[in-house]
Amino acid sequence: MRLATVLLLSALGACTSAATGQDAPDGGRPVDPLADRLEGADTRLRTRGYTAVERAFRGFLIEGKAEVHSLKLRAGRCATAIGATSDALTELELLLYDGGGSEVARAVGAGPHPVLTYCTSRAGAHYFVVRAARGNGLYSTRLYDSPPGLAGATTDLFGPPARGSP
């Protein structure tokens, strides 16, 4: 029995591929297509003065289901969330609720790359909801903090940059 347990634990410890099920390139890190999809948007946001927040959320959703994550937002600041999905999850919705349960922001109808921005006047608990509107699959989100003046600069995050933009 001990030998079987040791063999099972050894086999589990030897698994080094990413949660996406893709093997690592020879000598490299595991492939993470969701992180790759977020990199361009991440670079654009940071160049424009947004600050990445340590928390990011990842998971697997089935169509119509959602995951709820608690956040503490700062007064007088803006929170921006971006998302990316695996190919089978074609519509991801991001919603934000205040501590009392009222919806304060939403990003729907953006396909696999939603962007949600909310500027709050009061600090405190908020609830970030990630919902699979169409399809099933993996999702990944990243959160950013910014002063209110930057809130509008998010329309080109997942497309080619506008002329003269970073």
Over the stretch 83-98, which tens digit does the pLDDT of each residue have? 999 999 999 999 999 9
Residue for token pair 């934000």: 96
Write the CATH number of the domain with boundaries 31-146: 2.60.120.380
Domain limits, the chain: 31-146
Mean of the per-residue pLDDT values for the chain? 83
| Prediction pTM value | 0.77
Answer whether residue 77 shows pLDDT above 60: yes
For residue range 4-62, list pLDDT tens digits in order.
444 444 443 443 334 445 555 555 666 788 998 899 999 999 999 999 998 899 999 99
The answer on pLDDT for 67 being more than 70 is: yes
